[in-house]
A and B are shown apart, each in its own frame.
Chain A
């Protein structure tokens, strides 16, 4: 019996060593894997995911602290986002920043209306419901009832790039403002500075 146990032990051990489960992936050894979307991205000195995430976060928090924004939430006021000007030499979609800000503000109770390039889908749908003659009159969304925002978020992204043979230094400044549309008064503004250094 003892001899049987001695023989069985290594067998059990070797079996347990082989028992690994397959991951629920289908790519084989393609080399593609999912990374952490919240990780600090340092691939190049260009504006990246970390810059966009931290900028949106800072602006949201800064705006939330202002009594005006808390009043807007209480009074169910409406916001909209104007296109943020990209004054840097590189291309990136500045909507990435304003979209995140609006989403994060909405989670705190802010209401916003669509604007800019999203308007096309909105007007297309209104026209489809009202002018194609396909819909019951009682169920269609009426034209002329869209609501205008009282405040708009605006801003700009600028950069200063300096480099020599050893170092490339990029300084970004992202400025954002909350403007009362009727009066043009800037009710809130804040900026985020980012410095990225590449050592060659």
Chain B
């Protein structure tokens, strides 16, 4: 029992790394909700880890256009069962320069968050495409 507690304490002290989402693996798609299809902006990298008891997310958004693109984003923080554990976040504006890889780093505002969804909107979204549906389940828990 003591051994078990020691192992748990050690795990708590070090950071517990969660899987890195591969750009092509489809895992990113399960975490991202685009409001319309974004023509020039794409999430090309996403990683998550638990540090200091808080879920830490790093997302890279790539602008394929030569021109500056406006992005609006916010996170939805969830628990293991998919319930939201924090109030609705404000939308955040982010200017992404032409051909830029913008790294967005965020930390969950609550210790309860174990999962998340990223909502993205860009004024240059095309709305003809249907909204993403039937996404994969959470890749880690």
Contact = CB atoms under 8 A, between A and B. Distances in A.
A21 interface: no
Contact of B92 (A40, A61, A64, A107): A40
Given A38-B74, A40-B72, A70-B52, A57 B109 contact: yes
B53 interface: yes
Q: How large is the interface on A (under 10, 10 to 19, 20 to 34, 35 or more residues)?
A: 10 to 19
A64 B109 contact: yes
A108 B111 contact: yes
Interface in B65-83: 72, 74
A40 B107 contact: no
Contacts of B86: 107
B138 interface: no
Contacts of A70: 52-53
Max count, chain B CB within 10 A of own CB: residue among A50, A53, A57:
A57
Interface string B106-118: 1111110000000
A38 B51 CA distance: 27
B91 interface: yes
A3 B110 CA distance: 66
A184 interface: no
A39 B88 CA distance: 11
A38 B91 contact: yes
Given A64-B54, A65-B52, A70-B52, A39 B110 contact: no
A122 B106 CA distance: 38
Nearest to A38: B90
A86 B93 CA distance: 24
B136 interface: no
28 contacts: A38-B74, A38-B88, A38-B90, A39-B90, A39-B91, A40-B92, A49-B90, A50-B90, A50-B92, A50-B93, A53-B90, A54-B90, A57-B90, A57-B109, A60-B109, A61-B109, A64-B54, A64-B107, A64-B109, A65-B52, A65-B54, A65-B107, A104-B109, A107-B86, A107-B110, A108-B109, A108-B110, A108-B111
Interface of B: 51-54, 72, 74, 86, 88-93, 106-111
Interface of A: 38-40, 49-50, 53-54, 57, 60-61, 64-65, 67, 70, 104, 107-108
Given A40-B91, A40-B92, 6 more contacts: A40-B90, A54-B90, A61-B106, A64-B109, A65-B52, A70-B52
